Amino acid sequence: MEPKRDFVPALGKAEFTNSYDKVIAVMTREKRWRPLVAKALSLKPGEYVVDIGAGTGTQAILLKSLTPAARIAAIDPDPEVLAIARVKAAAAGADIEWHEGFGDEAHRKLGESFADAVVSSLVLHQCPMEVKSGILASAFRMLKPGGRLVIADFGLQRTFLMRTLFRQVQAVDGYEYTQPNADGILPELIEAAGFASVEERHVFPTHTGSISIYCARKPA
């Protein structure tokens, strides 16, 4: 039997999980940036997308509503958030493949070179450096040549105000895991995983620091 792995729960502590959707909606202004994640993915009918660290399923359900003929798989290590996600998806009539598992092992569970796109939102800032790199490596392995990657997460905190607000996230998720994001490490890690055309397409100020949307491609 493999040893049990730890992970940072959705809001830092498991007892806050049921409040996750309300907190994220208010504190990150997600109604502004989640549609732009979908636009960046630019899914077409019949395409296969994997949502790594899908949490309560908000992004996956939005993608399915915008492109009903796309096939969407969502993976997360937390059974509690997946239970919430399944209820939300059923209420929305969204047919999504839910998988329990860690993002850096997603290619082992789902396969390699099969996905047209991979998306991940608000996950990498909660992970130690080796897991950040592992998630991006797994995304690379799941993608077909030419496949698309879109990451929405706390990125470089460019101003004093954003750095100050981001301390709220650091108080919940820990300084060690979050500070590399605040220092702007993500584009470097995305390139190191093998991706090309890495671009920080949008930066959104929020009540908890700035969220960046990064786009990249697996070379054809």
Query: What are the residue boundaries of the structural domains of the chain, listed by start?
Result: 14-217
Q: What is the pLDDT of residue 57?
A: 96
The reported pTM is: 0.91
**Cβ within 8 Å of residue 99, ≥6 positions away:** 73, 74, 75, 76, 106, 109, 110
The CATH classification number of 14-217 equals: 3.40.50.150
pLDDT score, position 23: 83
What is the per-residue pLDDT for 18?
Answer: 66
- Of the chain, the percentage scoring pLDDT greater than 90 comes to 86
Confidence of residue 19 (pLDDT cuts 50, 70, 90): confident
pLDDT band at residue 1 using 50, 70 and 90 as cut-offs: very low
pLDDT at 208 over 80: yes
How far is 191 from 122, CA to CA, in rounded Å? 19
Whether pLDDT at 8 is above 70: no
Tell me what pLDDT residue 2 has. 46
Is the predicted pLDDT of residue 193 greater than 70, yes or no? yes
- Average pLDDT of span 108-131: 97
Place of tokens 């650091």: 170
Give the model's pLDDT for residue 9. 57
Computed over every residue of the chain, the mean pLDDT equals 93
